[in-house]
Amino acid sequence: MLDASHAVIGASLAKLVPNPVLGLPLALGLHFVGDLVPHWDLRTRHVKRSKLTTIALSLTDAGIGYALGWWLFNQTVPWPYLALMMFISQLPDWIEAPYHIFDWKFPPFSSIKHLQSRLHRKLDLPWGLIWQGLIVLLFIVISL
């Protein structure tokens, strides 16, 4: 999934599950579940781009998620928990990033990369974005 989607799902979870002991592992687990849903994303693993472009796109993607999550839930969730939940929701992708950016092809970067490559279900535009958007919207609606 886009990291924006992961972040908004994490922000919704922060509202739904105020207890961090439950919320944090759930946010991490839902990252992998989210990636199982056929989705479109920036295809960091497959498309040939310059590393700088990849970094810029990924940070924009993640940043949009943080902004949206903050905008939707900053009135109802304490901000440290909100920020942490959004970060944990994206964590596997952050751990994978050095594999692509610095060519750190050793654990844990390579392990998480291989795990995520196996879990991801891709779906092209437009449906890969429509389904993803609907799932994110469902989380928002349930948690608001």
* DSSP 8-state class, residue 46: T
Distance in Å, CB of 43 to Zn ion, minimum:
12
Q: Which residue's CB is nearer to Zn ion, number 35 or number 61?
A: 35
Could you give the count of Cα atoms lying within 13 Å of 35 in the half-sphere of its Cβ? 20
* DSSP 8-state class, residue 39: B
Count of residues interacting with Zn ion (CB under 5 A): 4
Using the rule CB under 5 A, give the single segment among 28-36, 46-54, 65-73, 103-111 that binds Zn ion: 28-36
Distance (Å, rounded) from C-alpha 9 to C-alpha 140? 7
Could you give the count of Cα atoms lying within 13 Å of 63 in the half-sphere of its Cβ? 6
**Which position among 11, 14, 35, 68 is part of the footprint of Zn ion (CB under 5 A)?**
35
Q: Which residue is nearest to Zn ion (CB)?
A: 35
Using the rule CB under 5 A, give the single segment among 31-39, 53-61, 70-78, 133-141 that binds Zn ion: 31-39
